[in-house]
Amino acid sequence: MVKLLLAAVTTISLFGQVPSTDTKFTAPSFSSLEEWKARRAGLQKQVMSAAGLLPFPERNPLNAQVFGRIAYADYSIEKVYIETLPGFYLAGNLYRPVGKKGPFPGMLAPHGHAQYGRLADDELFSVPSRGINHARQGYVVFAYDMIGYNDTMQLPHVFGTTPREQLWSFGPLGLQTWNSVRALDFLQTLPDVDKEKLLVTGESGGGTQTFMLCAVDERPKWSAPVNMISLIMQGGSPCENAPSLRVGTNNVEIAALMAPKPMLMVSATGDWTQNTLKEEHPAMKKIYDLYDAGSQVETVQIDAPHNYNKASREQVYRFFAKHVLGDSDLTKYSEKRIRQEKLQDMLVFMGRPLPANALDLKGLFALWIAAAEKQNATERDVKAMREKLAVALGVAWPAQVATAPGQFKKGKGGAVIAIGNAGPGDGRSELRIDLRPNTPAADMETRYYLTFNRSDDAKRVQDIVTAVAWLRQQGETEITIQAQGKAAVLATFAAAAMEQPVKLDAPLGSFRGTDDEMIANCFVPGLQKAGGIQTALRVLGAK
């Protein structure tokens, strides 16, 4: 069983409040590096599972196309598209130094929800300004689209909200994170990029993309997430709020997966990062201090509304100059004015068709499912199969169960957990439990409820695991779970997710684990992506 260690590390300030994106969280705290590393391992798997990236999909050829070069004395701009999944294309612009000798550090530049995305150029946000200035300073910069912005329009920005999509962890957060992973792959193919010197910076939703990439991929050595790491707001878009992502955690802890590598936390007085200097940065520094690397996480606050403005960008220029370029003279890293190019010279697919194999939403979802089914069918490692199920379910073996989680009657010759109307006792010890009721509708309507809370069926599976743990505490070693109907499905998943062996008297009948059957009997986001009932039965067959 995966030890997720969720509940102890982050609490809610208002007792009884249903966690949501606007909850006031308290900072995590760890007493030792060993405690943090154990937490880190479980949290990284939780993030990857929520994104639908546990494990990563098979990497297809990128089939990168780079064209439309515009060159000046000290930088150039090119159009780019890469195939991040078969039939799905990520577009952007490549900013390169001119007149300098490489290889150069490779930088990813995701953007936030500004109206014009990677082409926005105004007082508060300008991806071209940072792309050109970073290129002038000696970086190769790939500025790429969010899904549903500019050239990357095969899918809408908002999808992944139906129960079926959620069963398969198919949504914008996961796909955008995968795009970032493949964007790193692309940078590493370029002959003028130093493959070991990779960094990433983005603002707002691009800040989320920044720390999500660093959470799942170890290659970025430096990062600067801008105006997004907060304890009072966790993200306002579906592309930042996949189901199960922040159960028992928040953006501070997820961003801390970067530790101990250098990171600059940029914040603003006029948004949800207003408390960074006194709350979020000290919390982050405590984790870095566990590595004796407290100086590697820096912070700066700009007196402005939500932004990645000139003042913020200049702070990032200087941070990277110091840490990446090794330049101690930071006075020369002021932003220079740029020439804004015509849209037709920046847009990738203006006057150019998408490749013939480009998929729409329906086609890409079908591809996503087929790829997951292939991965699951070919998996042979029972521990890996069990772990995927346990992480998707969010179940953990309790360290201590204080009271009996149901009605208990002592007997002899083993023990039975009888769920609901399961069969009568036969002289063995019996722990009778009922399936918990549904969460009140008012709570379920909380914004992004499933991002911060387990589904009812996931909680029911945990209840069964907890019942087994309690019986173990009583000295019972031969335990049978008796269940029928929906309870039998839940019991099967509970038994598969536990390392501790139990016997099952839980016939599945005609249940085959189709999406509709799962929605009705065991709705847990990500559970089909983790292998569903077929993987659960394979795990149990191997025990």
CATH number at residue 218: 3.40.50.1820
Are β-strands 415-419 and 407-409 bridged in parallel, bridged antiparallel, or unpaired? unpaired
What is the rounded CA–CA span in Å between residue 230 and residue 240?
Answer: 13
Q: Where does 98-171 show beta strands of DSSP type E?
A: 104-108, 140-144
* Distance (Å, whole) CA 160 – CA 166: 6
User: According to the model, what pLDDT value does residue 133 have?
Assistant: 98
Helix/strand number for the chain, H first, E second: 17, 14
User: 442: burial class by Cβ within 10 Å (0-12, 13-18, 19+)?
Assistant: exposed
3-state secondary structure 241-272: CCCCCCCCCCHHHHHHHHCCCCEEEEEEEECC
385 and 352 part of one domain: no
Whether residue 358 is found in the same domain as residue 448: no
Tell me the Cα Rg of the chain.
Answer: 25
Instruction: Give the per-residue pLDDT at 543.
Output: 65
36: helix, strand or coil: helix
Is residue 9 assigned to a domain? no
Per-residue pLDDT of the chain (543 residues; tens, 9 = 90+): 544 333 333 333 334 589 999 899 998 899 999 999 999 999 999 999 999 999 999 999 999 999 999 999 999 999 999 999 999 999 999 999 999 999 999 999 999 999 999 999 999 999 999 999 999 999 999 999 999 999 999 999 999 999 999 999 999 999 999 999 999 999 999 999 999 999 999 999 999 999 999 999 999 999 999 999 999 999 999 999 999 999 999 999 999 999 999 999 999 999 999 999 999 999 999 999 999 999 999 999 999 999 999 999 999 999 999 999 999 999 999 999 999 999 999 999 999 999 999 999 999 999 999 999 999 999 999 999 999 999 999 999 999 999 999 999 999 999 999 998 776 668 899 999 999 999 999 999 999 999 999 999 999 999 999 999 999 999 999 999 999 999 999 999 999 999 999 999 999 999 999 999 999 999 999 999 999 999 999 999 986
What is the count of structural domains for the chain?
2
Answer whether residue 172 is part of any domain.
Answer: yes
Pick from 305, 340, 366: which residue ends a domain? 366
> How confident is the model at residue 426, as a pLDDT?
85
The verdict on 309 and 437 lying in the same domain is: no
Q: Is the peptide bond before 103 cis (omega within 30 degrees of 0)?
A: yes
Judge if 151 and 225 occupy the same domain: yes
Domain coverage including residue 193:
65-366
Residues 303 and 163 both lie in one domain: yes
Q: Which two tokens stand for residue 118?
A: 């990677």
533 lies in the same domain as 387: yes
Residue 542: per-residue pLDDT: 81
Q: Give the pLDDT confidence score for residue 15 in this predicted structure.
A: 42
Q: Mark whether 338 and 389 lie in a shared domain.
A: no
Q: Does the residue 290 lie in any domain?
A: yes
Q: CA separation (Å) from 266 to 141, 210, 219, 263, 323? A: 20, 12, 21, 10, 16
Of 302, 337, 366, the domain-final residue: 366
Are 300 and 362 in the same domain? yes
In a domain, 265, yes or no: yes
In-domain check, residue 334:
yes
Q: Is 228 in the same domain as 140? A: yes
Task: Judge if 398 and 521 occupy the same domain.
Answer: yes
Structure tokens that stand for 114 in this block? 């500004």
> Is residue 534 in a domain?
yes
What is the SS3 assignment for 197? Answer: strand
- Residue that the structure tokens 């569903």 belong to: 532
Whether 371 is covered by a domain: the verdict is no
Residue 76, domain member (yes or no) = yes
Mutual angle of helices 33-50 and 205-216, in 10-degree steps: 110
- Which among 309, 342, 366 is the end of a domain? 366
Looking at the structure, tell me whether residues 322 and 403 fall in a common domain.
Answer: no
* Alpha-carbon distances of 105 from 95, 199, 417, 506, rounded to whole Å: 12, 8, 59, 57
Residues 202 and 284 occupy one common structural domain = yes
